[in-house]
Structure 1
Amino acid sequence: MKLKCPICGAEYDEPVQRCSCGEPVEFEIFKAEPYLGKTVWERFWDFWPIEPAMELSLGEGDTPLVKSRLGKELGVKLYLKNETVNPTWSFKDRGTFLAVSYAVKAGYKAIGTVSTGNMAASVAAYAARAGLEAKILVSESASDEKLKAVSVYGADVIRVKGDYGRLYFESLKLGEKLGIYFINSDNPFRVEGYKGIAFEIAEELTPDYVLIPTSSGGLFRGIAKGFIELKESGLIEELPTLIAVQAEGCSPICRAFGEGKEKIERFENPKTIAKAIANSYPPSGNAVLKLLREFGWECATVSDGEILEAQRELAGEGIFVQPASATGIAALKKLVESGEIEERTKVVSILTGSGLKTLSHAKGRNVKECQLESLEDCLR
């Protein structure tokens, strides 16, 4: 299958990761029919650019679509796509699995990524599963607590001092030189893996809106491509309206979109509690902008206060997510209030990662203390 640049249109027969113009590449649109099968990989077998190596799977995908009580309060039919139940507790596992399937088939002995969070843990876990070396490059400010969840899989974790923004591109160059396949945020196989989220949603309902927390842009591109391929294959009649959601304190895509610009600019001095989506210069930013404009989709921002409130409301339904995952719900409340999302419409919000990864931000009730002799009174 050919790879194509979504910005300049250049085509490649070889598996490159970025176009010569500097933008990410993606596989051409697949048209196919689904099969009967146990997993999303089997049911949509012909929609993947390579044959998934099922022996390397950790059970990623086929996550629950949960009807939310919050929808009743907001006057919409709200569903939560709960990606927190993936093997390493985030949506990243879908893309990592497909990319590792390629790396093994291509004969790589080592894989890597540039990340301090969800993607780092995912790549480390799947490298262990496949018997590959893992090289995880992190910024010098990455906390020891976060990195414990990465090094436990046996990965080489390397703190890199210097410009973290340049690290993405340096990793691709050095990976090519040293034979390390870097599975970064918008690796084309990673983006393909995220299509499964759209496929699974469409199997259960036809949404009017899908809210997507957006950082590098790889997840947004993957879900968009999934829905587009379903429509091109005649499996759905209309595309839902996709909404990219960013934190106000780091929103380069939404800012460029709101200002009518064709290209993003670096977001200086980012500051938000939603660290998982705080990418000041997202590598797929321009590709996301193009999709937003081409299909008439939207971009929304939310404040840290709104994010924390949404996180608490989701916990009240029994789902504990990291702050970035709550941005969709925070945006939904604003969009319903402004009338941009109509009442009685079907809305899906993507919950991208577990709150267990960001316990320092969790706010719960105070723990009570009680003497055993007074337990009855305490229970009352």
Structure 2
Amino acid sequence: MRGRLHCPICGREYDKPIQRCSCGEPVEFELFEGEPYIAKTAWERFYDFWPIEPELELSLGEGDTPLVRSRLGKELGVKLYLKNETVNPTWSFKDRGTFLAVSYALKAGYKAVGTVSTGNMGASVSAYASRFGLKAKILVSENAGDEKVKAISVYGGDVIRVKGDYGKLYFESLKLGEKLGVYFINSDNPFRVEGYKGIAFEIAEELSPDYVLIPTSSGGLFRGIAKGFIELKENELIEELPTLIAVQAEGCSPICRAFKEGKEKIERFKKPETIAKAIANPYPPSGNAVLKLLREFGWKCVAVSDEEITEAQRKLAGEGLFVQPASATGIAAVKKLIESGVISEGSKVVSILTGSGLKTLPHAEGGEVRECSLENLESCLR
């Protein structure tokens, strides 16, 4: 492990790999000295920015995702780009963090890795565990849908439905993982957060954005992208930081609510209800760290309604990009922020598309499907 871990809240430092500080907050790696060298993959191009050397021969091709120019930008009056994370190996951004974290687990001698998840992260950890030849322990809630569980178990991992308080499961998994020798790669694992820095690095290679919109649940993705841009700025590889905007669903927006109310700490969001299930975390473990970043850098947090999310998802599909509802929140927020004057006309805006719509097919709104006999096909085609 290169460098040391420190707590962004209390400042305590650690020389050995841990996941959370004694004060209860998530830890992260300190900035490493040195500049990246030019090489083939993002893992190689930004070699000096990773806390460990990734196991490149076991990569599934995660990262280096396309930055797509969106036609919606013309309609909205901005230069809009979409960072398409749906093309990662298991169809979500989670693969970036999983690959780096499993690389560490392998080097550290673990025989099993695990995570607490009912969706993207569970599938990602299960897939990479199989790739690395490790056992996977995936803990899901008792009411997790059969379709989601099947998508996780297909990779061969040990999927366990856990009865009880799902909110407590995160912390219980870390405790039992240490006892049983299972390295749990949960939402804000420090290696996972480091892997997400690659999104910022890749954006900066192509563009100097004014705004970056990030669907935000546990807060790990936001922290990773923020850390990536900050490290680029501190190494004088970019001149200015973009304005980062955390986006949440109105039906579960503990970070935005605390931000709006001027609180220093988040509070549990009671009775979460939104179609954007992938970001519906009522008590995000990195929530306080995200709040600190928002205030320190003058960044923003915005919540969008289910109606706005559905409209944005439909518009993205009209451009050939089928994303899950959580991924569409950024586009919903762009429109809202332009209308309120926060984002000005002509701005360069990047929205992160976090996961594929193929993961949420039962909730997808399909278009019209007509029936036609072979004899009347010409008429139907007309």
TM surpasses 0.5: yes
1:169 paired residue number: 171
Q: 2 CA distance for matches of 1:29 and 1:297? A: 21
Q: 1:27-106 counterparts in 2 under 5 A?
A: 27-106=29-108
2:268 paired residue number: 266
Q: 1 CA distance for matches of 2:340 and 2:286? A: 29
CA deviation after TM superposition for structure 1 residue 34, in Å: 2.0
- Paired letter, 1:50: I
Counterpart secondary structure, 1:157: strand
Counterpart secondary structure, 2:315: helix
Deviations along 1:133-185, one digit per CA (max 9) or x if unpaired, are 00000000101111111111100000000000000000000000000000000
1:296 paired residue number: 298
Q: 1:117-196 counterparts in 2 under 5 A?
A: 117-196=119-198
Q: 2 CA distance for matches of 1:342 and 1:32? A: 36
**How many percent of aligned residue pairs carry the same amino acid?**
84
Query: Structure 2 residue aligned with 1:219, among 221, 234, 238?
Result: 221
TM-score under structure 1 normalisation?
Answer: 1.00
Q: 1 CA distance for matches of 2:33 and 2:288? A: 25
Q: 2 CA distance for matches of 1:170 and 1:56? A: 30
Q: 1 CA distance for matches of 2:132 and 2:123? A: 14
CA deviation after TM superposition for structure 1 residue 99, in Å: 0.1
1:373 paired residue number: 375
CA deviation after TM superposition for structure 1 residue 40, in Å: 0.4
Deviations along 1:299-336, one digit per CA (max 9) or x if unpaired, are 00000000000000000000000000000000000000
Q: 2 CA distance for matches of 1:167 and 1:198? A: 30
Counterpart secondary structure, 2:213: strand
Q: 1 CA distance for matches of 2:185 and 2:129? A: 11
Q: 1 CA distance for matches of 2:291 and 2:367? A: 41
Q: 2 CA distance for matches of 1:48 and 1:320? A: 31
CA deviation after TM superposition for structure 1 residue 360, in Å: 1.2
Counterpart secondary structure, 2:349: strand
Q: 1:224-373 counterparts in 2 under 5 A?
A: 224-373=226-375
Contact 1:31/1:229, CA 8 A, preserved across alignment = no
Q: 2 CA distance for matches of 1:137 and 1:55? A: 28
Q: 1 CA distance for matches of 2:14 and 2:83? A: 34
Contact 1:265/1:281, CA 8 A, preserved across alignment = yes
Q: For structure 1, which segment, 127-136 or 22-31, has the greater mean C-alpha deviation from structure 2 after superposition? A: 22-31
Counterpart secondary structure, 1:206: coil
Contact 1:247/1:303, CA 8 A, preserved across alignment = yes
Deviations along 1:271-318, one digit per CA (max 9) or x if unpaired, are 000000000000000000000000000000000000000000000000
- Paired letter, 2:185: I
Q: 1 CA distance for matches of 2:332 and 2:171? A: 33
Q: 2 CA distance for matches of 1:30 and 1:191? A: 15
Q: 1 CA distance for matches of 2:175 and 2:337? A: 42
User: Which 4+ stretches in 1 moved above 3 angstroms?
Assistant: none
CA deviation after TM superposition for structure 1 residue 46, in Å: 0.4
CA deviation after TM superposition for structure 1 residue 35, in Å: 1.3
Unaligned runs of 5+ in 1: none
Q: 2 CA distance for matches of 1:32 and 1:270? A: 44
Contact 1:114/1:171, CA 8 A, preserved across alignment = yes
- Paired letter, 2:237: L
Q: 2 CA distance for matches of 1:232 and 1:327? A: 30
2:8 paired residue number: 6
CA deviation after TM superposition for structure 1 residue 30, in Å: 2.5
- Paired letter, 2:180: L
- Paired letter, 1:224: A
Q: 1 CA distance for matches of 2:207 and 2:351? A: 13
Q: 2 CA distance for matches of 1:29 and 1:279? A: 29
2:111 paired residue number: 109
Q: For structure 1, which segment, 359-368 or 18-27, has the greater mean C-alpha deviation from structure 2 after superposition? A: 359-368
Q: 2 CA distance for matches of 1:351 and 1:266? A: 26
Counterpart secondary structure, 1:170: helix
Q: 2 CA distance for matches of 1:292 and 1:217? A: 12
Provide the alpha-carbon RMSD of the alignment. 0.5
Q: 1 CA distance for matches of 2:227 and 2:32? A: 9
Q: 2 CA distance for matches of 1:75 and 1:280? A: 34
Unaligned runs of 5+ in 2: none
- Paired letter, 1:341: I
